[in-house]
Structure 1
Amino acid sequence: MRLTWVQPEDLLPHELAAGADEGRDVSAVAQRWVTAGGSVLPPVGGASAEPAGPELRALAAELLDECDALPPAGSADEPTELAAIRASWPTSYALPTGPADQDRVHGGWLGRSVGCLLGKPVEKIPRAGIREILTATGRWPLAGYFTGVGLPAEVAARWPWNRRSAPTSLAENIDGMPEDDDLNYALLALRVLETHGREFTSADVAQAWLDWLPGGRVFTAERVAYRNLLLGLAPPATALRHNPFREWIGAQIRTDVYGWVHPGRPDLAAELAYRDAVVSHVRGGVHGALWVAAMTSAAVVASDVDTVLDTGESVLPPGSRFAATVREARSLGAEAAAGTTDWESVLDTLYARHGHLHWVHVRNNAALVAAALAYGRGDLVRSICAVVGGGWDTDSTGATVGSVTGALTGAAGLPTEWTGPLRGRLRSSIAGFDGVTFAELAERTGRLSARRRDTDEPGAGGIVSATSEPVLRTPQARTEGTSA
């Protein structure tokens, strides 16, 4: 068995790329690695083709320690600390507040699932491959779930489906929403809120991972953080040791529920997203989590996508690379929506700007999300087809764009040709959630949104300690097939 996302020889090339992106001098480390016979090219997937020998693996672990000891990256424009991030937030928001409309929360759950499902079979397939598959099956431009029917063998061999996802996510196979980490984390956030309330800590999130989240269903930064938990580290240190994925997309896919339970209060939603994100991410990885939580907070009460995008940008450090990325991408998407350019030209520009980043990095994928939302103008189908057709982390970006546009629309207004195949339910590897219905999830989420706390006033959220309790306890007994 070849373990993915944790072997030192696989982590080090990613760390060299991450350090260079952050502006740290990793040249001496890179030279030692190359001299010893290592490669500086990061594996595209979770592991290189062949495991390293014991000496090279030991050197990789040593060099990862050296990278961790380098001077901290970033600047005042790229904060990870919540107090610094909060400093630029508005003191109030011109958004309706109060318990969430259950139909719109239902739409958020459905939209997240539809967008994720659309992107699942082509995850890791580049943009050119996606277009060739669609063209070969007479389905370009993208306007429905992918299918293998009529796909020529040579095209299938050149661009193989995601083998884990294709059996349940191609149009001819869909029977309910299949299990996916992009939905597992939303379910886990719901459980954390139901168990601990809004005052949960990062330690509570970490413990929920150990109690309820199978280790084999976490990837990239989450797998590294999971390993660090088992080594005895506590958040936020879990995000820092041997973690080259600290500014990848993982935290951004975990925070929709925090927005749905704080309708019209993006500040409170972003605070909860922060506590979750720092278990595994720093800087841009955390900023992405706050951005999505703020957008979903607005999406269940706003009437247009520009309000949602404005709200998301309001919680970002204004001088950060993440904020600059989504602002530029949003402008490009708006130009395509206005007809002054076309969507393919927008994608060309985004790839020119961000194509050097790994397909699971947060900035390139956030750029796609922002551009697709601005281009789609709140229409779920137009938006998710645009973002998934753009490539990179297709199921994750499809899920986020679907979540926002689904909540803007509401479940009753979503097209049945897209929601019908979900059969009103989803699979999950989170115990107690397998087979849960979207209607039940909407009801439980709505119930949480109605539990207003006494401090729910602008600026009164406060900062909850990330490590206010020990993390490693014996995992709780799991009861399969029962409601959480």
Structure 2
Amino acid sequence: MRLTWAQPEDLLAHELVQSATEGKDVAGVVERWTAAGGEVVPAVSGAGPVPAPPALRALARELLDELDALPAAPAPHEPDGWEQIVALLPAPPVLATVPDDELARRVHGAWSGRAAGCLLGKPVEKIPRAGIEEILRATGRWPLTTWFTAVGLPEDVAARWPWNRRSAPTSLEENIDGMPEDDDLNYPILALALLEKHGPGFTTDDVAQLWLDNLPAGRVFTAERAAYRNILDARPVPETATHQNPFREWIGALIRTDVLGWVAPGDVRTAARLAWTDARLSHTRNGGYGAMWAAALASASMVCATVDEVLDAAQTVLPPDSRIAHAVRLGREAAAQGGDVSAGLDRIHAAYGDLHWVHVLNNAAVIAYALAKGAGDFGASVSIAVTAGWDTDSAAATVGGVVGALRGTDGIGQAWTGPVDGRIATSLPGGEQRIDDLVARTLALRLTAPAVAEPFARADA
């Protein structure tokens, strides 16, 4: 059986990269693994290698334990504990509130925008940037302004850049019928259930139990799949995030936390704390900060007037010297430099092109760039996030949620919202969900608004 993201020999190759990033001395492990015939280059596609012979797989398990036990280099600028994180942060911004009807408009736009952005990126997930451009040029849709299509795609291009096999039947223009099932929407729906059951005082153990009760194991990936295995192995939090989990600084936690920001409009620090509580089940350091940042983006998008204000507010929840803070700043700087989108994406790929396509750093830089460069235009913003390559559906979902909140569903435009049809399929209990119902549930969970005296002032004002 070939099980993606779980085979020990596949995990070891990824763990060698992650451990080296953390300053661990991996030379001895590399020598033993290669001498036994193991591969040290991680699988890029996510398919993983062919299952290893039993002896090699046993060695991989042994070496994974050794890597887990190695000391990491001190990283006081990237702590894991909440109090240590907060000690590094600037004062949270004071943001304006909005009337209830405006909040409802924004929540509806956020759900619709997240779905539409995710849907746009689904068929080309895993396809590199050059392949996405070749597909679009071959079908007469470059630059990207609408859905992908297989109509008119030459056979040689289709063979060179195959669609995401799970997504093409439901996410190409000719096939769309509502928002198909996707983990980028499963997690926000699950977050509603978490808050409805436990309120804002939920614990990380509550998140774990909710996964076991509601989330099919086959619909979790990368760090979440490793954490799910660790939960079933009765490992405690935060060991669930660290034991044989080389994906602990990838994008998985970032895609889970939009709702935790939508229910805390304008209170980015509370949104970040809720996100940290969720993220620590499966992620460490920058993987957790990514979740905090996404929740803060969502929180700020409920009350701010512009994308720049949202980005400014959200940046206050990132430890300033963390790698993800640098990635976000790079994305924003690339947008501020002007020039065409291709030049901006070239800069981001030059900085982060060595990372796996599901890592948090490269995708956070893309999200920041797409938001800043798109300047509040929904189609432009999600299209940039998708044509950047890497985790196309996740990045565009986050971008779409932010811009959708600012514009509202009507401002997103019928061309994007029409095919979604206000419906989101899910593999969670209850089946297909109506966006109108999800909006009502989100609004019912709104936390007490913080005391607000005046609108948020831009950091560079």
TM-score normalised to the size of structure 2? 0.95
Superposition pairs of residues 51-450 of structure 1, within 5 angstroms: 51-97=51-97, 101-336=103-338, 341-432=339-430, 434-449=431-446
User: What is the rounded CA distance, in whole Å, between the counterparts of 1:74 and 1:205 in structure 2?
Assistant: 29
Q: Secondary structure at the match of 1:410?
A: helix
Residues 141-197 of structure 1: CA deviation (Å, up to 9, x unaligned): 011110000000110000000000100000000000000000000001111001100
Q: One-letter code of the match for 1:407? A: A
Conservation of the 8 A alpha-carbon contact between 2:330 and 2:348: no
Deviation at 1:21, TM superposition (A): 2.1
Q: What is the Cα deviation at residue 92 of structure 1?
A: 4.4
**Matching residue's letter, 1:200:** F
Q: Work out the CA distance in 1 between the residues paired with 2:330 and 2:345.
A: 12
Q: What secondary structure, in the 3-state scheme, does the structure 2 residue paired with 1:101 have?
A: helix
CA distance in structure 1 between the aligned counterparts of 2:401 and 2:239, rounded to whole angstroms:
30
Percent identity at matched positions? 58
2-structure distance, mates of 1:366, 1:203: 27
Cα distance in 1 for partners of 2:344, 2:380 equals 15
Residue type matched to 1:178 in 2? Answer: P
In 2: Cα distance, 1:136 partner to 1:46 partner: 26
Judging changes above 3 Å, is the alpha-carbon distance between structure 1 residues 271 and 399 closer, same or farther for their aligned structure 2 residues? same
Counterparts of 2:32 and 2:246 in 1: how far apart (Å)? 18
Deviations 1:279-299 (Å, cap 9, x if unpaired)? 000000001000111111000
Q: In the aligned structure 1, how far is the partner of 2:371 from the partner of 2:25?
A: 36
Residue among 449, 452, 457 paired with 2:448: 452
CA deviation after TM superposition for structure 1 residue 210, in Å: 0.3
Q: What is the CA distance between 1:28 and its match in structure 2?
A: 1.1
Counterpart amino acid of residue 63 in structure 1: L
Q: CA deviation at 1:435?
A: 1.8
Per the alignment, residue 457 of structure 2 pairs with: none
Structure 2 residue identity aligned to 1:356: D
**How much is the aligned-residue C-alpha RMSD, in angstroms?**
1.3
- Is the Cα contact below 8 Å between 1:118 and 1:398 reproduced in 2? yes
> Aligned partners of 2:46, 2:137: CA distance in 1, in Å?
29
Question: 1:72 deviation in Å?
Answer: 2.7
SS of the equivalent of 2:303 reads coil
Worse overlay, 94-103 or 9-18: 94-103
1:263–1:301: 8 Å Cα contact kept in structure 2? yes
Please report how far the alpha carbon of residue 47 of structure 1 lies from its aligned counterpart in structure 2 after TM superposition.
3.9
- Partners in 2 of 1:333 and 1:63 — Cα distance? 43
- The one-letter amino acid paired with 2:40 is V
Q: In the alignment, is the contact (CA less than 8 A) between 2:249 and 2:287 conserved in 1?
A: yes
For residues 376-406 of structure 1, what are the alpha-carbon distances to aligned partners after superposition, in whole Å with 9 as ceiling and x for unaligned?
0111111000110000000000100001100
CA distance in 2, matches of 1:223, 1:69: 21
Q: Is the 8 A contact 2:19 2:72 kept in 1?
A: no
Q: Who is 1:13 aligned against?
A: 13
- Give deviations 1:416-443, integer Å, cap 9, x for gaps: 01100011111000102x2211111111
CA drift at 1:50: 1.4
| Letter of the structure 2 residue corresponding to residue 419 of structure 1 | T
Q: Secondary structure at the match of 2:389?
A: coil
Alpha-carbon shift at residue 97 of structure 1 (Å): 3.4
Alpha-carbon distance in 2 for matches of 1:374, 1:73: 34
| Residue aligning to 2:458 | none
Asked if 2 retains the 8 angstrom alpha-carbon contact of 1:103 and 1:412, the reply is no
CA contact (8 A) 1:426 1:437 kept: yes
Shift of 1:23: 2.3
Q: 1:470: which partner in 2?
A: none
Q: Helix, strand or coil for the counterpart of 2:88?
A: coil
Displacement of 1:452: 2.0
Q: Report the secondary structure of 2:423's partner residue.
A: coil
| Contact 2:293–2:317, Cα closer than 8 Å, also in 1 | yes
Q: 1:206-253 CA deviation, whole Å, 9 max, x = no partner? A: 100000000000000000000000000122110010000000000000
- Give, as a single letter, the amino acid of the residue that structure 1 aligns with 2:448: R
Deviation for aligned residue 1:334: 2.2
For structure 1, the 5+ residue unaligned runs are: 459-484
Counterpart of 2:459 in structure 1 is: none
SS at match of 2:5: coil
SS at match of 1:222: helix
Q: Say whether the 8 Å CA contact 2:249–2:285 is kept in structure 1.
A: yes
Contact 2:248/2:284 (8 A) holds in 1: yes
Q: What is the alpha-carbon distance in structure 2 between the residues aligned to residue 299 and residue 191 of structure 1?
A: 22
Describe the shift of the 1:356–1:110 C-alpha distance in structure 2 as closer, same or farther (beyond 3 A): same
Cα distance in 1 for residues equivalent to 2:56 and 2:363: 33
Distance 2:381 2:409 in 1: 16
Sort the Cα spacing of 1:95 and 1:457 in 2 relative to 1 into closer, same or farther, 3 A.
closer
**Secondary structure of the corresponding residue to residue 3 of structure 1:** coil
| Deviates most, 100-109 or 303-312 | 100-109
In structure 2, how many angstroms separate the alpha carbons of the residues matched to 1:202 and 1:97?
A: 29
For 1:426 and 1:243, locate their aligned partners in 2 and report how far apart those are by CA, in whole Å: 30
Kindly indicate whether the alpha-carbon contact (under 8 Å) linking 1:426 and 1:438 is maintained by their aligned counterparts in 2: yes
Shift of 1:74: 4.7
Distance 1:346 1:59 in 2: 43
Contact 1:97 1:265 (C-alpha < 8 Å) held by counterparts: no
Asked if 2 retains the 8 angstrom alpha-carbon contact of 1:251 and 1:285, the reply is yes
Unaligned runs of 5+ in 2: 453-461
Q: Displacement, 1:90?
A: 4.1
